[in-house]
Amino acid sequence: MIGLLIELIASWLLLWLFERKDLLALGISPTRKRPGNFLFGFLIASLCCAIYYFSFTINTNNHWQMNATFNGKQFGSASWWTLTSVLYEELIFRGALLYILLQRVRAMSACMISAIAFGVYHWFTMNAFGNPVQMIFVFFMTGIWGFMFAMAFAKTRSLYLPAGLHLGWNLLNTVVFSEGPLGHQFLILKGEERTGIALSLAFYLFQVFAVPLITYWYIKWQLLPQLSVPASR
């Protein structure tokens, strides 16, 4: 919590020094459309995450087993950790720094810089640094997702959509399917069977592209026509 407070103060200082703006420039105040953007992102990312993991078990002899020791207190603690980690990353990579970049360079260039930084950051958080093969896979996946988050911010000028996408995947991935730094949570994978190369590649590509492609459709065909409508006087 202290880290988030420091980030907010640093973000405010950067916005004021470079743009003479306050934190509202990050689109954090609720409007009629922003909660809907958050909900869309959260639901789509959660659904894709669930499809990803259940598809894996359908195609193998593995299965998910409920953790008998998992309780409401653990759920609350794990969910809070996930939420704060998402907000921490959003403020770093889609916060003041990206906003300032968007004022100085083309949106595509700003989003690419943000995506590259997000990918490199995950070399360390996912303990991939030093393993070239793992570094490539981690950078490819998190870089594309980082670009998606950055474009969601750039097009909506708000943190609601990228935060919803980010939280939706991370919450299910970490708290429901126990695939994260917190260890066993609600569901535990039982079995050791691995998929073949072709199926593993298919699952990896789904994990990388499913949510970004849906988000691209949402921004291009559903959201932008609404954003482009002139405000009534």
Average pLDDT value for residue range 146-154: 96
The confidence score (pLDDT) of residue 143 equals 97
Over residues 200-218, the mean pLDDT reads 94
pLDDT at 85 over 80: yes
Asked if the model's pLDDT at residue 1 lies above 80, the reply is no
Report the mean per-residue pLDDT for the chain: 92
CA 106 to chain centre: 22
Averaged pLDDT for residues 195-208: 87
